[in-house]
Amino acid sequence: MKIICLQEELNKGIQTASKAISSKVIEPVYGNIMMEASNNSMKLVGTSGEISIEVIIKVETIEQEGSITVPSKELGNLVGSLNPGQVKIESDDVKIINIETKGSNYNLNGLSSDQFPSIPRIIGEDSVSISQKTLKSMIKETGFAIAPPDEVRAILKGSLFEVQGDSLTVVSADGRRMAKKTAKLLNSPGKNFEVVVPKKTLNELLKILSDNQEDEVKIYITESQIDFQTDGTRVLSSLIQGKFPNYRQVIPAHCEQSLTINKEAFYKALRRASYITQKDLESPDLVKFKIHESQIIITANTQDVGQAYEEIDLPEPAQSLDISFNAKYLLDALACMECDYITFELSNPVNPGIIKPVRDKDKDEDYIYVIMPVRLK
């Protein structure tokens, strides 16, 4: 392999591909990035076995095609510290890669690409297309509700991707809360399906997907894998096997009242109150709501820290209700909602509450957050 490329392009590609590599590698080659030069471009691939990220970068010239794998940490540190401009790369495709810029010359030990795991292509399987910006917001507004790593139910350690007709629904739940968002696809695949995508895959997608509504991502799906493809980047991931819980059963069919609340004022009041409750060992993050007439009174009390008292005005009188929630769970949802006002639907101190953003009715998106109250002893 013998090529010339730009440091800026190479560094960006290496940093993206290396995100797939695990900190605990099972074999040395899994700690490497594969570099393959062909067809006037260079392909950079990182993999953990569970997730693979492939990046195509432009090159200025290819004198000789070829491939090699190089330790990602050393390669990333070196290329990231080079000055912007042209980088000459040459390898014997077996053990050594030479990286040269003006005034700098380095040799890195590598491994033959023959030892690198094969990364399958699943084009031709069931696929859908959606705006990158839309998918990014769907992951952002639901991913926080994915169950933590110590959750015994593996199926809850990822998000459900459900395609029905021309819509995609993404759902995350951890047994105490659930976030769901539905948006329109750019195509109708003609087939409905449900798969569960691991949290790590979703976290890496957030870093890759653009904020441009016109940019598209294609999603290819099999029974065991999902492949997200953008212009120049693909993320291939194993799926979490099993049946995701029926999220529709979690959503209350009816609530006794719906409160319209200024999101920013609500968020700031909860955040201030949460400072009092964070060190409460018995009930961390517990806040109490007293809804009376046209106010929500938020209180928190921790013996070793102190007390909190906040008032939130409502636009119209509400039914009286005393109810408690985990402040962190409320803050997680409010932090990612892009709106000025929310509706908070409540019934009683034991039934779930529903939070929805107040958005333009003509927007082809639907978001709902279901949260269980904290039952006081």
Q: What pLDDT is recorded for position 350?
A: 95
Nearest to 146 by CA among 182, 197, 209: 197
Domains of the chain, with CATH numbers?
A: 2-115 (3.10.150.10), 126-249 (3.10.150.10), 257-371 (3.10.150.10)
Structure tokens at 89: 């790369």
- Cα 311 to the chain's mean position, in Å? 34
Nearest to 196 by CA among 164, 167, 229, 155: 155
Contact of 274 with 331, CB cutoff 8 Å? yes
Please state, in angstroms and rounded to a whole number, the distance separating the CA atoms of residues 169 and 30: 33
Q: What pLDDT is recorded for position 11?
A: 97
Please state, in angstroms and rounded to a whole number, the distance separating the CA atoms of residues 256 and 346: 6
How many alpha carbons fall within 13 Å on the CB side of residue 231?
8
Q: What are φ and ψ of residue 294, in 5° steps?
A: -110, 35
Which CA distances in Å does 130 have to 61, 166, 197, 239?
Answer: 34, 10, 16, 19
DSSP state of 305: T
> Does pTM surpass 0.85?
yes
Q: What pLDDT is recorded for position 361?
A: 67
Q: What pLDDT is recorded for position 237?
A: 97
Residue listed under structure tokens 């819509």: 167
- Cα 135 to the chain's mean position, in Å? 9
Burial 44-65 (b: 16+ CB within 10 A, else e): bbbbbeebbbbbebebeebeee
DSSP state of 111: B
Structure tokens at 338: 């892009």
User: Which ranges of 164-306 does DSSP label H, i.e. alpha helix?
Assistant: 199-208, 263-277
Contact of 22 with 30, CB cutoff 8 Å? yes
Burial of 326 (0-12, 13-18, 19+ CB in 10 A): buried
Nearest to 257 by CA among 372, 357, 325, 345: 345
Structure tokens at 329: 């769970």
Residue-level pLDDT, tens digit, the chain, 377 residues: 999 999 999 999 999 999 999 988 888 899 999 999 998 899 999 999 999 999 999 999 999 999 999 999 999 999 999 999 999 999 987 789 999 999 999 999 999 999 999 888 876 667 899 999 999 999 999 999 999 999 999 999 999 999 999 999 999 999 999 999 999 999 888 788 899 999 999 999 999 999 999 999 999 998 899 999 999 999 999 999 999 999 999 999 999 999 999 999 999 999 999 999 877 667 789 999 999 999 999 999 988 889 999 999 999 999 999 999 999 999 999 999 999 999 999 999 999 999 999 986 656 679 999 999 999 87
Nearest to 367 by CA among 134, 133, 129: 134
Contact of 89 with 3, CB cutoff 8 Å? yes
Please state, in angstroms and rounded to a whole number, the distance separating the CA atoms of residues 41 and 58: 5
Radius of gyration of the chain (CA): 25
Q: What pLDDT is recorded for position 35?
A: 97
Q: Nearest 5°: CA angle at 350, between 311 and 314? A: 25
Q: What pLDDT is recorded for position 125?
A: 63
How many alpha carbons fall within 13 Å on the CB side of residue 80?
12
Contact of 139 with 167, CB cutoff 8 Å? no
Please, what is the end-to-end C-alpha distance for the chain in angstroms? 69
